[in-house]
């Protein structure tokens, strides 16, 4: 049996898993990232988290074939560099070399959203498909693209920034410096903003009672919950959000014609009340009548990045 380690390097946590050939996570390690700080210190803590995971799995460094890392930011996997990561305050950091020196193991490096999509394609909701678009709906909108079973990141390693594709010309300003991005309409943060706007316009909405009268307590799933309770205003929020998401998904299908689009992030736990209407939107607006792209929920949650990273060396 061969074992690999996957590292999901985030701005908040370093999450590590020892993964076997059947994509099972046998041991885990977790350490706070405490960014920003020197890359050498973060690499040392990544190595410590790997040792934690190996101890839990009952294995040693000798049992590990390689280590894969998913990092936020613009990654050059060929040179092993984190070219830029706002979350980590990394600029042209040779993370592959630093981490390999800290562990004594071969290291592979990729963007975190890309490896999460890869993990879903290997062992999750897109298993068995070679052409995949994965969207993670959270504070922002993360994207990953798999073409022919391989991660696609473009000629400059910065592709698949699907959350920053233009969606509304002259639309809402985005944190990336542009305006009208998908992220400003389809992220959970956007859904919360849309919910609050509707609540202010509709003081009779049951959503006020459901959040205890405190608009700051509004979460991403409140509108869906209130819609199920029969609240008209909440239904308007949900339908508008689904139109935005369906529009974005349809555009990505038109560009990539994947076999499957995966929707991840906390909002994906709504399941069919979200996915069913998005599928209906896609069917109504798709470019080709014979297009058969599936729209499904991601299934691996936070493990997708660990599993995907662990198999970067294949």
What CATH architecture applies to the domain 127-297?
2-Layer Sandwich (3.30)
Which residues fall within 8 angstroms of residue 6, CB to CB, at 6 or more apart?
16, 17, 19, 67, 68, 69, 70, 115, 119, 305, 306, 307, 308, 309, 310, 311
- Give the domain ranges of the chain: 3-122+303-310, 127-297
- Mean pLDDT computed over 18-42: 97
- What's the pLDDT band for 143 if we cut at 50, 70, 90? very high
Which residue has tokens 């790997």?
Answer: 50
Checking if the pLDDT of 210 tops 90, the result is: yes
Checking if the pLDDT of 290 tops 90, the result is: no
Write the CA distances from 33 to 77, 135, 151, 246, 310, integer angstroms. Answer: 21, 24, 26, 35, 19
Q: Which residue has the higher pLDDT, 291 or 99?
A: 99
Nearest to 111 by CA among 87, 147, 129: 87
Average pLDDT over the chain, rounded to an integer: 95
- Mean pLDDT computed over 221-232: 97
Residues pairing with 76 in the sheet: 81
Cis peptide bond upstream of 38, omega within 30: no
- Fold of the CATH domain 3-122+303-310: Nucleotidyltransferase; domain 5 (3.30.420)
Which residue has tokens 């560099």?
Answer: 81
Same fold, 3-122+303-310 and 127-297: yes
């Amino acid at each position: 049996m061969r074992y690999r380690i996957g590292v999901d390097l985030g701005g908040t946590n370093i999450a590590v898993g020892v993964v076997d050939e059947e994509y099972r996570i046998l041991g885990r390690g977790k350490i706070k990232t405490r960014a920003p700080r020197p890359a050498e210190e973060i690499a040392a803590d990544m190595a410590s988290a790997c040792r934690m995971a190996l101890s839990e799995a009952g294995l040693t460094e000798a049992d590990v074939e390689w280590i894969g890392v998913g990092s936020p930011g613009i990654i050059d996997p060929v040179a092993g560099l984190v070219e830029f990561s706002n979350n980590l305050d990394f600029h042209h950091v040779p993370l592959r070399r630093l981490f390999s020196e800290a562990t004594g193991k071969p290291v592979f490096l990729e963007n975190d959203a890309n490896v999460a999509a890869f993990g879903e394609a290997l062992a999750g909701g897109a298993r068995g498909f070679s052409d995949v678009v994965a969207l993670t709906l959270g504070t922002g909108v993360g994207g990953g693209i798999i073409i022919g079973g391989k991660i696609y990141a473009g000629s400059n390693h910065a592709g698949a920034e699907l959350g920053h594709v233009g969606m509304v010309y002259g639309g809402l300003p985005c944190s990336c410096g542009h305006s009208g991005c998908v992220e400003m309409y389809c992220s959970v943060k956007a859904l919360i903003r849309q919910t609050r706007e509707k609540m202010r316009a509709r003081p009779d909405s049951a959503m006020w009672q459901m959040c205890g009268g405190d608009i700051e307590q509004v979460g991403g799933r409140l509108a869906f919950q209130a819609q199920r309770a029969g609240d008209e205003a909440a239904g308007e929020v949900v339908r508008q959000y689904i139109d935005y998401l369906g529009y974005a998904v349809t555009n990505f299908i038109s560009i990539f014609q994947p076999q499957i689009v995966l929707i991840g992030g906390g909002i994906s736990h709504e399941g069919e009340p979200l996915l069913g209407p998005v599928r209906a939107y896609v069917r109504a607006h798709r470019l080709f009548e014979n297009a058969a792209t599936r729209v499904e929920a991601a299934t691996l949650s936070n493990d997708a990045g660990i599993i995907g990273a662990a198999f970067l060396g294949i």
